Structure 1
Amino acid sequence: MKLRKVLALAAAAVMAVAALASCGVKEDSSNDSKAGGSSEKHYKIGIVQIMEHTSLNTIRDAVIDRLAELGYVDGKNCTIDAQQANNESTTVQQILDQFKADGDDIIIAITTPCAQLAAPYSEEIPVVFSAVTDPIGAGLCDSLESTGANITGTSDKLAITKILDFALEMKPEIKTLGYLYNTGEDNSVSTLKEVKAYCEEKGITVIEGAASNTSEVQEAAQNLAAKCDAVFSPNDNTIAGAMGTVTEVMNKAKVPMFVGADSMVMDGGLGTVGIEYSDLGKETANMAAQILSGEKKASEIPIKVFNEDLSTYINKTTADTIGITIPDDIANGEKTVYFD
């Protein structure tokens, strides 16, 4: 009888320990989910950008850093495969094919060309895009509120009126404005329409300067510098990738170069009014994390357009080089940021 009692007590103890262990596992799983998913899951995240330049690198780095803050740490519970395509669409396609073959859980496509090429893959893999100026015009969705597909993302739509108002305040005598861009980039083409509408109201003549690749940028920039009072380039990847060349041409001609991104100011453009591109990357990562955790589907996340809380960015070295005096109200503005 004593032996039976001992065995019974031992069995009860084992069951109690097992029950406590079971509860402990459930609690840990819940915590893991909040930190980026169950520890048993190893996520594969593919990031593709059209090329290397400051704007896109800023977004990419912000995405990776923010994902780590949310618990998706490269080399621990996920593998992040970040690639760039040297401004070649065929290379983007190859990268996307590899993401699919690798069984990636999500694709993050930075820039309009990458997003457009990634869109068909959303039938099988969630896609989150970043730095798409006009998602509807690019054919990525019919509505910003609900894409109706396995795709969502962030938009860096330019505040054209504010940028060109700023340009006129910096140089009131502008009568001819050069528009430097790649005609193959949909975002630049759609922005041109807005620039022309603004300039028509102001009596400003717009002269286009097209470059289909970075090797053509210098000649296009020189042509515009010889004809225009100022030049503007939107968040065009081809131009952004050649800002060193553009800055040299414009500074030599003493022509102010207004741009679409803070990073293009950092790289030598005179100035812009817009967002901080790291914020774009952070929000893109927030969306990706919601999808990976199962909190939401891509189709349930509205596209976020960054067009509020804008800052004025000025390259002080460029201003000094071309002899531009910064008006006091801009120079002393609370939201004015200087690059040297």
Structure 2
Amino acid sequence: MYNIGILQLTQNLDDAVNGFKQGLAQQEIAANFHYLNADGNIDLLPDLAIALAQQKVDLIFACSTPSAQAAIELVEHIPVVFTPVFDPVGSGLVNSLALPGGKATGVAGMVPADAKITFIQRLLPAARTLGILYHVNDSNSIAEVENFRKLENSTFTLIEIPIHEAEELSNLPDLLPINLDVLFLPIGRIVEENFATIVYYTDTINIPVITSHAPNVPAGALGALVANHHQLGVECAAKAKEILSGTMPASIPVDTVKIPEILLNDFAAQNLGLNLPADLVAEAKEIFE
């Protein structure tokens, strides 16, 4: 019987935890779970990680980048399996995806930028100008913006819309270029916490919003291409089994999202005067109305 710690930033990641537990059961791994949740307070995570270490856990399953960072900073050499971390290399969790090199591995949660571009093209075939609204101090947002910059794409003109403070969003109509066809929101705390403000203003000027944060779709975004957090948790369980069987996490490659899911909002489409493409409707995991 293993002792496994679960370090979670928010309840929004419950699906990953449930998938991880299901995956362990499928792997026939019996475990006692020590579960600690920071309820969104990042500052609590280091102390919660210490509390898990004091429970003598054999492994920590860390949900979110800050959770994983707090876990690997423990002086104890407790292996860490993480998800749905967007940028494991850029956040300092691993040296590379192929060869992590430390005491952590896992499954990254960022859907590749080229897949998102293709999704936006399919959803909005007439769009030509794509804006990316992001907070300049959010590492996850910066990572995704950089991935978009690297793409050679002839369909969209890419316009970056950086913000430094949440208060700037109250002036969003002045920040958005007049010729904008669609606004993309990378994952990021400031943007997510102020999504209601963003969608209020974009609705008034009839700009569709595509997001990286799944809960934004039922809240008014037109669509998203996202990872299935439950499946990420299941895949993390397989890595946990390797570690518990004696393999060092340093040599276990970090996986990436294999089959992203389509989320659509038909109510938002109707408000924008758009018809959701039939092929995307057929492929969608969920359509909100």
Taking structure 2 as the reference length, what is the TM-score of the superposition? 0.82
Alpha-carbon distance in structure 2 between the residues aligned to 1:243 and 1:98: 34
Q: 1:300 to 1:83 in 2, by over 3 A?
A: same
* Alignment-derived partner of residue 297 in structure 1: 248
Alpha-carbon distance in structure 2 between the residues aligned to 1:271 and 1:122: 42
Aligned pair partner of 1:336 in 255, 271, 284: 284
Alpha-carbon distance in structure 1 between the residues aligned to 2:79 and 2:271: 47
Measure how far apart 1:189 and its partner are: 0.5
**Superposed counterparts of 1:63-102, under 5 Å:** 63-70=20-27, 77-88=31-42, 90-102=43-55
Structure 1 residue 231 corresponds to structure 2 residue 183 = yes
Taking structure 1 as the reference length, what is the TM-score of the superposition? 0.72
Deviations 1:207-241 (A, max 9, x none): 314365xx648537555557533211123344344
Alpha-carbon distance in structure 1 between the residues aligned to 2:209 and 2:46: 33
Structure 1 residue 259 corresponds to structure 2 residue 235 = no
Amino acid in the other structure paired with 2:6: G
* Alignment-derived partner of residue 320 in structure 1: 270
Deviations 1:55-96 (A, max 9, x none): x333233224434555567xxx513313125253x2222222
Contact 2:17 2:233 in 1 (8 A): yes
Contact 2:7 2:48 in 1 (8 A): no
Deviations 1:268-289 (A, max 9, x none): 3211234322211211233224
DSSP 3-state at the match of 1:304 = coil
Measure how far apart 1:242 and its partner are: 4.5
Is the radius of gyration larger for structure 1 or structure 2? Answer: 1
DSSP 3-state at the match of 1:314 = strand
DSSP 3-state at the match of 1:155 = coil
Alpha-carbon distance in structure 2 between the residues aligned to 1:83 and 1:231: 33
Contact 2:218 2:265 in 1 (8 A): yes
Structure 1 residue 135 corresponds to structure 2 residue 95 = no
Of 150-159 and 230-239, more deviation after overlay is shown by 230-239
**Superposed counterparts of 1:11-90, under 5 Å:** 37=1, 43-49=3-9, 51-53=10-12, 56-70=13-27, 77-88=31-42, 90=43
5+ residue gaps, structure 2, are none
Q: 1:326 to 1:339 in 2, by over 3 A?
A: closer
Structure 1 residue 272 corresponds to structure 2 residue 224 = yes
Alpha-carbon distance in structure 2 between the residues aligned to 1:172 and 1:134: 29
* Alignment-derived partner of residue 281 in structure 1: 233
Q: 1:182 to 1:101 in 2, by over 3 A?
A: farther
Contact 1:178 1:209 in 2 (8 A): no
**Greater relative CO (CA pairs within 8 A, separation 6+):** 2
Measure how far apart 1:304 and its partner are: 0.9
Q: 1:237 to 1:339 in 2, by over 3 A?
A: farther
Alpha-carbon distance in structure 2 between the residues aligned to 1:234 and 1:104: 34
* Alignment-derived partner of residue 147 in structure 1: 100
Deviations 1:140-163 (A, max 9, x none): 222322222221111123221221
**Superposed counterparts of 1:143-182, under 5 Å:** 143-182=96-135
More helix by share: 1
Alpha-carbon distance in structure 1 between the residues aligned to 2:220 and 2:14: 17
Deviations 1:173-221 (A, max 9, x none): 4344332333333221021122234487445141314365xx6485375
**Superposed counterparts of 1:179-218, under 5 Å:** 179-198=132-151, 201-202=154-155, 204-210=157-163, 216=167, 218=169
> Identity, % of aligned pairs?
22
Measure how far apart 1:167 and its partner are: 1.8
Aligned pair partner of 1:103 in 52, 56, 59: 56
DSSP 3-state at the match of 2:73 = helix
* Alignment-derived partner of residue 12 in structure 1: none
Q: How many residues align?
A: 287
Alpha-carbon distance in structure 1 between the residues aligned to 2:82 and 2:238: 12
Of 223-232 and 310-319, more deviation after overlay is shown by 223-232
Measure how far apart 1:105 and its partner are: 2.4
Cα RMSD of the aligned pairs, angstroms, is 3.1
